Amino acid sequence: MAALGWLTPRRRSATARSVLAGEASAEAARKTAQAGPVLEAAEPEEAEAEPELEELEEFPVAGDDLAAAFFDLDNTVMQGAAIFHFGRGLYKREFFQRRELARFAWQQAWFRLAGVEDPEHMQDARDSALSIVKGHRVSELMTIGEEIYDEYMAERIWPGTRALAQAHLDAGQKVWLVTAAPVETATIIARRLGLTGALGTVAESVDGIYTGRLVGEPLHGPAKAEAVRALAAAEGLDLARCAAYSDSHNDIPMLSLVGHPYAINPDTKLRKHARAHDWRLRDYRTGRKAVKVGVPAAAGVGALAGGAAAAIALHRRRR
């Protein structure tokens, strides 16, 4: 892929592969956002802890076309990890076997119990997904992705975070998802929520067929920051006027790029960093603002573990 030439000076922690991944993601995001109108979003459900918008003072600023908002997806906008839900849907359609679904179920249970992104778990899931989709058409996976969203993802959107995104939309600003999930999956979710578009991991395709390889690397950590930087440059945004939202300390590079960083459902490391840097916090897992919560909530642990066990039991019944 040709260099896009969009980037401003970047941190030394960014590798050539993360820069390539970021540029590819930004290019894909702009193309899909320009390809057609954003679908009308359903009204967000009532949340236990609605964001107290009066605390945002005059932010987001209505009519500020130099500002935009960037939202991490997994455990920020949606409970759990999109790629695991996607894998569950592919299994239902017989893309792979029971032993692979059992691994997806365990990874999803671990992710939700721990509440953090483990790079080894996420890499394993991505490698599995790439091997599964290799040889399939991009259009086929997009169609299936729409169905999987309705089956497994729609009911897992955090209403509180959705309301924050809507506040930016109501102010006339663009709102982008930024995620390590495949860009096709992320784009479907963004459109279903009425957002502008999505930055995601770009899987290589030739003549509309997946090769099983990535462009650069997964959009994770520094690569997310590179994608946001590239998109901001292409869109003419002022990052000092933009906002970013995430649950994970892995996204500190992205959060540090913008003038308005938010920690949403934060893991322990991000919570500590956010407090040290006076970033705003929101925790929709507890029904209370994170500023009043000392540790992540542990409620529902048994139910989550039981859900993984039930998934495995379901496969056994289908034998």
Per residue of the chain (319 residues), give pLDDT as tens.
333 333 333 443 568 878 887 787 878 888 887 554 444 444 444 444 444 444 445 678 888 999 999 999 999 999 988 988 888 888 888 877 666 656 655 555 555 555 455 555 555 555 656 667 888 899 999 999 999 999 999 999 999 999 999 999 999 999 999 998 889 999 999 999 999 999 999 888 999 999 988 888 888 889 999 999 999 999 999 999 999 999 999 999 999 999 999 999 999 999 999 999 999 999 998 644 433 332 232 222 222 233 333 333 333 333 4
CA dist 203 and 89 (Å) reads 19
pLDDT for 47: 42
Distances (CA, A) of 257 to 56, 222, 240, 286: 19, 11, 8, 28
295 and 264 together in one domain: no
239 and 92 together in one domain: yes
Taking each continuous run of H as one helix and of E as one strand, the counts in the chain are: 11, 8
231 and 87 together in one domain: yes
Look at residue 306 and give its three-state secondary structure: helix
169 and 248 together in one domain: yes
Catalytic residue among 64, 74, 247, 283: 74
pLDDT for 113: 52
In a domain, 211, yes or no: yes
In a domain, 137, yes or no: yes
Q: What is the domain-level CATH number for residue 218?
A: 3.40.50.1000
199 and 181 together in one domain: yes
pLDDT for 119: 57
pLDDT for 117: 53
Annotation marks residue 150 as catalytic: no
In a domain, 112, yes or no: no
153 and 234 together in one domain: yes
In a domain, 152, yes or no: yes
258 and 153 together in one domain: yes
DSSP 131-172: HHHTTSBHHHHHHHHHHHIIIIIGGGB-HHHHHHHHHHHHTT
Task: Please give the tally of structural domains in the chain.
Answer: 2
pLDDT for 318: 39
Residue 247 CB coordination number (10 Å) = 30
Annotation marks residue 118 as catalytic: no
In a domain, 170, yes or no: yes
In a domain, 314, yes or no: yes
pLDDT for 43: 47
pLDDT for 63: 84
pLDDT for 215: 85
* Amino acid at site 200: G
210 and 137 together in one domain: yes
Catalytic residue among 64, 65, 72, 150: 72
In a domain, 82, yes or no: yes
185 and 66 together in one domain: yes
In a domain, 38, yes or no: no
65 and 206 together in one domain: yes
State which residues form the domain around 298: 284-318
Residue 37: which residues within 8 A CB-CB, separation 6 or more? none
154 and 248 together in one domain: yes
176 and 250 together in one domain: yes
